Amino acid sequence: MASKDRHPEKSTRSTVSRRGYLRLGAVATVGVGTLAAVDEYTDTGSAGAVSTADPSPADSEIGGGAAYSNDVTESDATTTVSTGSGLKTALQNAGAGDVVWVDSGATIDMTGESNIEIPSGVTLASGRGIDGSQGALLHVDSGMNGESLFRSSYETGVRVTGIQLRGPFPGGYFDPPEDPDEPGYTEKESAGIFVYNTESSRTVEIDNCHLWGWTSGAVRLGANANGGTSCPTGTHVHHCSIHTNAMEHLGYGVDLLNGDQHLIEYCYFDLNRHCIDGFGNPENGYEARYNIVDDRTVSHAFDMHNWATNHGDRDVAGSTISIHHNTFRYTNEVEGEPDEYRDGGPQEYIKIREAPDDRCDIDNNWFQYKEKPPAGTTGGDQYAYTQTGVSSWTNMYESNNAFGPEEPAADIGAPRTGNGGGGGGTPDFEYNDDVTAVDASVDSHDKRSGLQLSVTNNFDSKLNITDVTIEPANAAIDELSDHSMEEGKWLSELYVDADIQDSAADINNGLSLPGSIDLRNDGHDDSDRRWAVFSPGSTGELYLYQFENDGSAVDMVGETVALTIDYYLDDGNSTTGSKTLSLSP
């Protein structure tokens, strides 16, 4: 299948695994169905004919809406507006700390407007999900000559939350008749929000928004360096419904032109050309987690371009990419009618178009209708992920993914339902996927032989950690031993820093691995023999020290440890549970 790429101003990474090699041998057998073409997605959309219905799941925090809890409310507003002119004036006059609130019942035609500046420190908000509201609807009904509706250039501390933004082509897949190099093409381009600044930290937040119908991208972030401007912007895009941004050559849900401090999480994606794409320069990367990619696509979902194809100075596909705990549902692309590029053929979920400068990790995802690439290949569009421009996997690492329609464990893929902490429609004890190997400097070696991670109690009652089981994947790691007679962080084999009650387990003569720790009976006679207790909604840290092989410290970078945490809830029902984490620092 031939495929056009993005136009030149915008516009494919593998030793396989240093984390045990990208294990490509065993291939699951799944049925690969055909995605039937849907008429409304083969025609150019018109704003007046398209529903404002939000396709994101109503019973999940993924995609935002009613289940989202971090709302800005009208009572927080500095200024309330209900018209386009009022909105522009309010933003022009706003300063850091102000909240410009758009009336939740307003529908505002913004056609003809572009590049409305959101100043530093300003929040633009409406009431999506509050008391049944969809939030204010701001719509544009014709092309924008390559501009964006909202822009925030060189600004920081900006937040856009609770708003609906509908672009000029909301009806489905749109393949403009013009070639990208022809004059009529640019006028079809449009973007919802374009933010770029030189802050690499996550100083921009876009959350709980419904974004669709944009041709360049619903959200565009950063500025590339090949024109002399380098803006490695950092952003947090989360709990948004981002769909039907499906223009050929462009069509991005989240378009990352520069910066590697981008976190995209708890978003619902459907019918984008790429849900997330990266420009490819060596400062470009992202972390994507807890997202759902639904069953319609125009091309592969998550992407990183080759910098050289975008006029960069070398073949590289970005910097650091982490794709974990996402669920991917489509099989084939939509079929254009007539169209020589979109023929309904298979599309991979993830495509990395050369070697990342650092690495790309693909972990704990649920690939519902794609197989694992077979050994000796670098994937292809019929498989879950692929790497192009290389002869073998280079700086690509994979672990603990699920392939096929059978539902995996709750900690693989995006949260099924509920508050985003776990599957099954109930709250959960959540691992925050932040394990770090640490040289605790309490011994004389330079090995990173300790592990540190955080967990969050998403239940509505107090949670007590009662037992912990530790099982390294590497059998040579045979002991956890702190060599200290004291108790506490890095002084015990296990230390849990919880908000209500901390706990330390100091094992006589160390713990043989694999092994389990009973926090109330660790074999030590000191007084710190108690469960760790977390209040509802609280986050705490776990510290494990130190991992050894025959008495010698082991550097844990690149190792994998299965950590099973047993817990008891103070909910009046004596509820117990268990959570197994795969730790791969």
Delimit the domains of the chain by residue range: 39-403, 429-583
- When mean pLDDT is compared across 64-68, 206-210, 315-319, the lowest value belongs to 64-68
Which residue has better confidence, 33 or 385?
Answer: 385
On average, the pLDDT of the chain sits at 85
Rounded to an integer, what distance in angstroms lies between the CA atom of residue 413 and that of residue 435?
Answer: 18
- Which band of pLDDT confidence, cut at 50, 70 and 90, is reported for residue 424? very low
Residue with tokens 């650091």: 320
Please state, in angstroms and rounded to a whole number, the distance separating the CA atoms of residues 292 and 54: 14
The residue-averaged pLDDT of 131-138 equals 95
Query: Of the candidates 420, 496, 499, 472, which has an alpha carbon nearest to the alpha carbon of residue 583?
Result: 472
Mean pLDDT for 378-401 is 97
Q: What is the pLDDT of residue 339?
A: 59
Asked if the model's pLDDT at residue 14 lies above 90, the reply is no
Band (pLDDT 50/70/90 cuts) for residue 1 is very low
- Domain 39-403, CATH class in plain words: mainly beta
Confidence of residue 416 (pLDDT cuts 50, 70, 90): confident
Lowest-confidence segment of 126-130, 244-248, 380-384 by average pLDDT: 244-248
Coil, strand or helix: which one is 490?
A: coil
Residue 178: predicted pLDDT = 85
For residue 404, the model assigns a pLDDT of 94
Find the mean pLDDT for residues 555-571.
Answer: 90
Burial class (CB within 10 angstroms; exposed 0-12, middle 13-18, buried 19+) of 34: exposed
- Span 258-282, pLDDT tens digits: 999 999 999 999 999 999 999 999 9
- Asked whether the beta carbons of 464 and 535 are under 8 A apart, the reply is no
Higher pLDDT, 313 or 33: 313
Label residues 298-320 b or e (16+ Cβ within 10 Å = b). bbbbbbbbbbbbbebeebbbbbb
* CA pair distance 343, 20, nearest whole angstrom: 38
pLDDT at residue 17 tops 70: no
Q: Give how far Cα 208 sits from Cα of 69, 83, 189, 398, 532, Å.
A: 10, 21, 24, 30, 34
What is the average pLDDT across 96-120?
Answer: 97
Residue 330 in this model has a pLDDT that exceeds 60: yes
